[in-house]
Protein backbone atom coordinates (compact mmCIF):
# COMPACT_ATOMS: atom_id res chain seq x y z
CA UNK A 1 0.00 0.00 0.00
CA UNK A 2 2.85 2.38 0.85
CA UNK A 3 4.46 1.69 -2.53
CA UNK A 4 1.23 2.57 -4.40
CA UNK A 5 0.84 5.82 -2.42
CA UNK A 6 4.47 6.72 -3.06
CA UNK A 7 4.12 5.90 -6.76
CA UNK A 8 0.98 8.04 -7.09
CA UNK A 9 2.58 10.97 -5.27
CA UNK A 10 5.70 10.64 -7.40
CA UNK A 11 3.69 10.49 -10.63
CA UNK A 12 1.60 13.52 -9.61
CA UNK A 13 4.72 15.53 -8.71
CA UNK A 14 6.43 14.60 -11.97
CA UNK A 15 3.33 15.62 -13.94
CA UNK A 16 3.23 19.01 -12.15
CA UNK A 17 6.90 19.61 -12.96
CA UNK A 18 6.32 18.68 -16.61
CA UNK A 19 3.29 21.00 -16.94
CA UNK A 20 5.27 23.87 -15.38
CA UNK A 21 8.23 23.25 -17.69
CA UNK A 22 6.02 23.19 -20.82
CA UNK A 23 4.16 26.36 -19.75
CA UNK A 24 7.44 28.17 -19.11
CA UNK A 25 8.88 27.07 -22.46
CA UNK A 26 5.78 28.26 -24.31
CA UNK A 27 5.84 31.62 -22.54
CA UNK A 28 9.52 32.11 -23.36
CA UNK A 29 9.05 31.35 -27.05
CA UNK A 30 5.99 33.58 -27.49
CA UNK A 31 7.02 36.42 -29.80
CA UNK A 32 7.04 39.89 -28.25
CA UNK A 33 4.45 42.26 -29.60
CA UNK A 34 5.94 44.82 -31.99
CA UNK A 35 7.18 48.18 -30.83
CA UNK A 36 6.06 51.24 -32.76
CA UNK A 37 8.20 54.34 -33.04
CA UNK A 38 6.96 57.85 -33.65
CA UNK A 39 8.60 60.72 -35.51
CA UNK A 40 8.63 63.67 -33.08
CA UNK A 41 9.53 67.33 -33.38
CA UNK A 42 12.32 68.98 -31.39
CA UNK A 43 14.50 65.84 -31.44
CA UNK A 44 12.23 63.85 -29.11
CA UNK A 45 11.51 60.12 -29.30
CA UNK A 46 8.20 58.39 -28.56
CA UNK A 47 8.04 54.60 -28.43
CA UNK A 48 4.89 52.50 -28.12
CA UNK A 49 4.82 48.92 -26.87
CA UNK A 50 1.88 46.63 -26.27
CA UNK A 51 1.22 44.10 -23.56
CA UNK A 52 -2.12 42.36 -23.49
CA UNK A 53 -4.76 44.90 -24.41
CA UNK A 54 -2.79 47.90 -23.10
CA UNK A 55 -0.55 50.29 -25.00
CA UNK A 56 2.47 51.75 -23.21
CA UNK A 57 4.16 54.95 -24.40
CA UNK A 58 7.51 56.47 -23.46
CA UNK A 59 8.57 60.00 -24.49
CA UNK A 60 12.18 61.11 -24.08
CA UNK A 61 14.26 64.06 -25.20
CA UNK A 62 15.96 67.27 -24.11
CA UNK A 63 15.03 70.95 -24.18
CA UNK A 64 17.41 73.87 -23.81
CA UNK A 65 16.46 76.12 -20.90
CA UNK A 66 17.82 79.63 -20.12
CA UNK A 67 19.36 78.55 -16.79
CA UNK A 68 20.17 75.32 -14.96
CA UNK A 69 17.78 74.03 -12.32
CA UNK A 70 14.50 74.04 -14.20
CA UNK A 71 11.90 71.41 -13.32
CA UNK A 72 8.80 70.27 -15.18
CA UNK A 73 5.42 68.62 -14.70
CA UNK A 74 3.40 66.68 -17.24
CA UNK A 75 -0.36 67.19 -17.03
CA UNK A 76 -2.57 64.78 -18.98
CA UNK A 77 -5.61 66.08 -20.84
CA UNK A 78 -7.13 62.59 -20.68
CA UNK A 79 -10.75 63.65 -20.20
CA UNK A 80 -10.78 65.69 -23.40
CA UNK A 81 -8.06 64.16 -25.55
CA UNK A 82 -6.13 61.07 -24.48
CA UNK A 83 -3.42 61.98 -26.98
CA UNK A 84 -2.63 65.45 -25.59
CA UNK A 85 -0.54 66.52 -22.62
CA UNK A 86 0.74 69.82 -21.26
CA UNK A 87 4.27 70.25 -19.92
CA UNK A 88 4.65 73.11 -17.46
CA UNK A 89 8.06 74.36 -16.39
CA UNK A 90 9.23 75.49 -12.96
CA UNK A 91 11.91 78.17 -12.79
CA UNK A 92 14.71 77.62 -10.29
CA UNK A 93 14.59 79.63 -7.08
CA UNK A 94 17.30 82.03 -6.03
CA UNK A 95 20.26 83.20 -8.06
CA UNK A 96 21.41 80.97 -10.88
CA UNK A 97 23.92 81.36 -13.68
CA UNK A 98 22.51 82.65 -16.95
CA UNK A 99 23.78 79.69 -18.95
CA UNK A 100 21.74 77.69 -21.43
CA UNK A 101 21.28 74.23 -19.93
CA UNK A 102 19.74 71.04 -21.18
CA UNK A 103 16.67 69.69 -19.36
CA UNK A 104 15.98 66.00 -19.83
CA UNK A 105 12.28 65.28 -20.34
CA UNK A 106 10.93 61.78 -19.74
CA UNK A 107 7.26 60.78 -19.59
CA UNK A 108 5.53 57.41 -19.66
CA UNK A 109 1.82 56.72 -19.95
CA UNK A 110 -0.66 53.96 -20.57
CA UNK A 111 -3.55 54.06 -23.04
CA UNK A 112 -6.24 51.55 -23.97
CA UNK A 113 -6.06 52.41 -27.64
CA UNK A 114 -3.30 52.79 -30.18
CA UNK A 115 -2.62 56.46 -30.95
CA UNK A 116 -1.52 57.75 -34.34
CA UNK A 117 -0.49 61.17 -33.00
CA UNK A 118 0.53 62.50 -29.58
CA UNK A 119 0.92 66.20 -28.73
CA UNK A 120 2.70 67.82 -25.79
CA UNK A 121 1.90 71.53 -25.36
CA UNK A 122 4.79 73.44 -23.76
CA UNK A 123 3.64 76.07 -21.25
CA UNK A 124 6.08 78.65 -19.86
CA UNK A 125 8.97 77.28 -21.92
CA UNK A 126 11.94 79.34 -23.04
CA UNK A 127 10.89 81.94 -25.60
CA UNK A 128 13.04 80.47 -28.39
CA UNK A 129 11.40 77.06 -28.28
CA UNK A 130 8.46 75.75 -30.20
CA UNK A 131 5.22 75.67 -28.24
CA UNK A 132 4.57 71.97 -28.93
CA UNK A 133 6.20 68.58 -29.28
CA UNK A 134 4.27 66.65 -31.92
CA UNK A 135 4.74 62.96 -32.50
CA UNK A 136 3.35 61.12 -35.53
CA UNK A 137 3.28 57.36 -35.93
CA UNK A 138 6.10 56.47 -38.31
CA UNK A 139 5.47 54.48 -41.47
**Phi, psi for residue 94 in degrees, rounded to 5:** 80, -165
* Distance from C-alpha of 123 to C-alpha of 107, rounded to nearest angstrom: 16
* Per-residue pLDDT tens digits for 87-130: 999 999 999 898 999 999 999 999 877 889 999 999 987 777 88
Q: In what order do the strands lie in the sheet with 71-76?
A: 71-76, 84-90, 117-123, 132-137, 36-40, 45-51, 54-65, 101-111
Question: Which pairs with CB-CB distance under 8 Å and at least 24 residues apart come from 119-124?
Answer: 119/83, 119/84, 119/85, 120/59, 120/74, 120/84, 120/85, 120/86, 120/87, 121/84, 121/85, 121/86, 121/87, 122/63, 122/86, 122/87, 122/89, 123/86, 123/87, 123/88, 123/89, 124/88, 124/89
Domain boundaries, the chain: 1-30, 36-137
More reliable by pLDDT, 38 or 35 = 38
Q: Give the pTM.
A: 0.71
Mode of pairing for the β-strands spanning 84-90 and 54-65: unpaired
Asked which of 28-32, 48-52, 131-135 is least confident by mean pLDDT, the reply is 28-32
Amino acid sequence: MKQKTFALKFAFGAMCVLITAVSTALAMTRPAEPITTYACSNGFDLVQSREGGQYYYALSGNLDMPTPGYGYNVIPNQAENPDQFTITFEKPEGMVAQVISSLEISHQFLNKASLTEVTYNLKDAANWQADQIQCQQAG
